[in-house]
Chain A
Amino acid sequence: MATQTQETQDVQAHGDGHGHHERLQHHFISLDQQFSSAKLGMWLFLVTELLLFSGMFVAYAVYMQWYPEAFAVASEALDWKMGFANTIVLLASSLTVALSIHFIQKGNTKAMITSLSATLGLAVVFLIVKYFEYTDKFSHGIYPGEAFNPTGSYAYLDVPNAVQYFSIYYVMTGIHAVHVIVGMLVFAWLIYRALRHHFSPEWYTPVELGGLYWHFVDLVWIFLFPLLYLL
C-alpha cells in the first residue's frame, strides 16, 4: 500500500493480498483512527444515555419539590446500607474494568480475563443485593405500578403521595438494573472473545467501549445512591 504509515508498517498481512492489521477495516486510514472513531461513537451513545436518565432525574427533582414530606419519609424507608454496599460493589467493578484495559494494553490477556470475570462477578453481586432490596419492599406491600394511585400511601408507610416516590424509585433503579444486565451480557461476550485471543495491545476496541459503558452505569448509580437513599 502506497499510503502505509509508520504505524501500519509492522503489522501482519491478513491473507487477502495487502499488508495491514487484520482488524483494520478498509474505510479507516489506521488502527488509531479506527479506535478514535469508535470511541467518539461510544461517547455520543453515552450522551443519549445521559439524556435518557436525565428525564428520570428531572421527574425526581420535580416530585421531590412538590411533595418534600413524602420524599423525606419514603427515602427513610429504604435501607441505606444496601445502597451503600451496592455503591462499593459498582465502584470496585469500575476499577476492575479500568484494570482490564490496563492489562490488555500491556498484552497481558490472562490478567485481563481475570479482571473482566471479577467485573461480571461484581455485577452479579449488585443484582443479588437489588433482589433482596426489592423483595423487602414487596413484603411491605410496596409494588411497582400495581394499582397506581398518585396521592396514595401504604399501610406500612402512611404518608400521602408516598406512591409517587416509590414509582420513581422503581423506574430509576429498574432501568439502571436493566443496564447492569446488558453490561453483564457485554462482559460475558468480552470474556468469550478474550479466551479466543481476539484482543491485543494493537486492537482491544470492544473492551474499551464496554468499559466506557460500564463506567457510565456506575456514574448513574453515583447520583442515584445519595438522592434515593440518603436525602
Chain B
Amino acid sequence: MAHGHHIIPKKTLFSVFAALIGLTLLTVITALTIDFGVLEIPVALAIASTKALLVVIFFMALKYDNRVNALAITVGLVFVSVFIIFTMLDTVFRGDLDNVSNITISQQEREDEQLRAREPDADQLRVAPADFVGVDDDEASAAVDEAATADEAPAQ
C-alpha cells in the first residue's frame, strides 16, 4: 500500500452484508405481518435508511474517507429534504381547490367593508307601524325615516 488507503477487512464487509440481509428480512416481515397503521411508512423508511447508512459508511467507505466527500453528500441530502418537505407542505395542506373564491383576499375585505357601510344603523331598524304602509322600497325607507323622527321628537 503506497499511499495510506484504508483496507476494509473482509470480516467487516461480510458482517455488513449479513446485517443488510437481516434488515431486508425485517422490513419484509414487519410489512407483511405487523400492522403499524399510520406508522407503516415511517417504519419502512427507518429500516431502509439504516440499510442505506450501512452501505454508505462501510461499502462506500465514507467512515475511512476524506470528510469533504461526506460533506458533499450531506449537502445533497439537505437539499433533497428541502425538496420533499416543501413539496409536501404544498400538496398535503392544499385542501379542496374547487371550494375556493375566485377573488383575492384584499378584494374580499373591500367588499365586506362596502357591505358594512351600506348597512342601516340601529335606529333605522326599529319597527314602526309606518313600515307596513309602503308599497315600494323608496316609500318604505321614507316611512322608516319618519318613524325615526317621530321617535326622537318626544324627547326634544
Asked whether B8 is an interface residue with its Cβ less than 8 Å from the other chain, the reply is yes
A231 within 8 A of B: yes
In the complex, whether B10 has a CB less than 8 A from a CB of chain A is: yes
- Assuming A39-B69, A201-B1, A231-B40, is B48 touching A50 (CB within 8 A)? no
Given contacts A51-B80, A230-B44, contact A58 B66 (CB under 8 A): no
Docked-complex contact B59 and A222, CB < 8 angstroms: no
B149 vs chain A, min Cβ distance (A): 63
Chain B residues positioned under 8 Å from A61 (CB to CB): 84, 87-88
Number of A-B contacts (CB under 8 A): 137
Q: Which residues of A contact B66 (CB under 8 A)?
A: 36, 39-40
Which residues of B are at the interface with A, using a C-beta cutoff of 8 A? 1-5, 7-10, 13-14, 16-17, 20-21, 24, 27-28, 31-32, 40-41, 44-45, 47-48, 51-52, 55-56, 58-60, 65-66, 68-69, 72-73, 75-77, 79-80, 83-84, 87-88, 91-92
Known pairs A58-B83, A211-B59 / 18 extra A-B pairs, C-beta < 8 Å: A35-B5, A39-B65, A43-B69, A43-B72, A55-B83, A61-B87, A62-B87, A65-B91, A80-B28, A91-B21, A98-B8, A102-B7, A102-B8, A105-B7, A222-B51, A226-B48, A230-B31, A231-B41
A selection of 25 A-B contacts at a CB cut-off of 8 Å is A11-B2, A35-B5, A40-B68, A40-B72, A50-B77, A54-B84, A61-B88, A66-B91, A80-B32, A91-B21, A94-B17, A94-B55, A95-B14, A95-B17, A95-B59, A102-B13, A105-B1, A201-B1, A215-B55, A222-B55, A225-B24, A226-B47, A230-B27, A230-B28, A230-B31
